[in-house]
């Protein structure tokens, strides 16, 4: 296991400290939160942990079922106690860019239904200003080029249709993805999200604002728990 992968595993496992018996848990998507799901599955089978989960992607659903986590439909329960998910970037105000794994719409739906959000990440994801990671934006297939052009004009940057195996990447919801190459210029992520959502062909934006309560950060010195002073865990 590489050093980076080892750090991801440490962070993913550490995040499980927020999960207690009887909780309803949002299960995120990505290479770090994968270890959270594996550890929760181990606790279910070996320690009798009693939880139900709501996955944020088809891939997460498959993994959760494989490790024995009981899954429910979000609409069948009254909200979630916590969601544990990854992030592509987070800034000093705990605002996030997500969507590198193409699950941003489901991830945001789940996050909005959760009392608390815990992010697992390695220290490469911590930035002063969001935008070095291309901003993912889910768009409708209908007139997607026109939508992408509108986004490009709005943000004054290059916006690319995400491709996979020579064809447009299709999300779990049947939409396309655009990636905006803004650079580290997103000084007001709340306004940026609102402006992009005003474009009719945009389904959702990979800016997760005022949602994150804590970040479990893995770095060369080990694991650090960062708490949002305006969040629900302080």
**pLDDT tens, 22-79?**
999 999 998 899 999 999 999 999 999 999 999 999 999 999 999 999 999 999 999 9
Q: What is the predicted pLDDT for the residue at 1? A: 56
Residue 232 lies in a domain: no
**pLDDT tens, 170-187?**
999 999 999 999 999 999
> Half-sphere exposure of residue 219, counting CA atoms within 13 Å on the CB side?
11
Same domain as 45, residue 104: yes
Same domain as 14, residue 121: yes
Task: State how far the Cα of 143 lies from the Cα of 71, in Å rounded to an integer.
Answer: 36
* pLDDT reading at 102 higher than 90: yes
Structural domain containing residue 57: 3-126+209-227
Residue 234 lies in a domain: no
Q: What is the predicted pLDDT for the residue at 8? A: 87
Mean pLDDT of 120-125: 91
Task: State how far the Cα of 36 lies from the Cα of 51, in Å rounded to an integer.
Answer: 14
Cβ 87 vs Cβ 97: under 8 Å: yes
Dihedral of CA atoms 93, 99, 101, 106 in degrees, nearest 10, equals 110
Cross-strand bridge partners of residue 71: 53
Same domain as 140, residue 109: no
* Whole-Å CA distances, 146 to 110, 180, 192, 197, 198: 29, 14, 19, 15, 14
Residue 58 lies in a domain: yes
pLDDT grade for 220, boundaries at 50, 70 and 90? confident
Same domain as 221, residue 120: yes
Same domain as 140, residue 122: no
**pLDDT tens, 146-172?**
999 999 999 999 999 999 999 999 999
Q: What is the mean pLDDT of the chain?
A: 96
Task: State how far the Cα of 80 lies from the Cα of 114, in Å rounded to an integer.
Answer: 4
Task: State how far the Cα of 224 lies from the Cα of 222, in Å rounded to an integer.
Answer: 7
Domain count, the chain: 2
Domain CATH number, residue 150: 3.30.70.260
Same domain as 151, residue 107: no
Q: Which residues are catalytic?
A: 107
Task: State how far the Cα of 212 lies from the Cα of 90, in Å rounded to an integer.
Answer: 9
DSSP, residue by residue, 115-178: EEEEEEEEGGGB-SSBTSS-EEEEE-STTHHHHHHHHHHHHTSEEEE-EETTEE-B-TTS-EEE
Same domain as 166, residue 98: no
């Amino acid at each position: 296991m590489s050093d980076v992968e080892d750090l991801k595993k440490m962070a993913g496992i550490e995040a499980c400290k927020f999960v207690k018996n009887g909780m309803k848990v949002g299960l995120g998507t990505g290479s770090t939160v994968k270890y959270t799901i594996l550890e929760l599955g181990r606790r279910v089978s070996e320690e009798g942990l009693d939880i139900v989960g709501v996955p944020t992607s088809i891939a997460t659903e498959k993994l959760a079922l494989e490790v024995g986590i009981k899954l429910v439909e979000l609409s069948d329960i009254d909200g979630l106690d916590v969601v544990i998910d990854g992030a592509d970037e987070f800034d000093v105000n705990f605002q996030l860019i997500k969507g590198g794994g193409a699950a941003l719409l489901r991830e945001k739906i789940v996050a909005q239904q959760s009392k608390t959000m815990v992010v697992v990440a390695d220290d490469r994801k911590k930035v002063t200003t969001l935008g070095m990671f291309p901003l993912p934006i889910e768009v409708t297939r209908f007139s997607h080029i026109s939508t992408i052009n509108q986004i490009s004009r709005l943000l004054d940057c290059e916006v690319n249709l995400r491709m996979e195996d020579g064809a447009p990447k299709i999300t779990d919801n049947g939409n396309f993805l655009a990636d905006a190459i803004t650079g580290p210029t997103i000084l007001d992520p709340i306004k940026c999200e609102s402006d992009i959502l005003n474009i009719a062909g945009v389904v959702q934006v990979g800016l997760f604002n005022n949602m994150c309560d804590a970040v479990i950060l893995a770095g060369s010195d080990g694991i650090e728990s960062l708490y949002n002073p305006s969040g629900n865990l302080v």
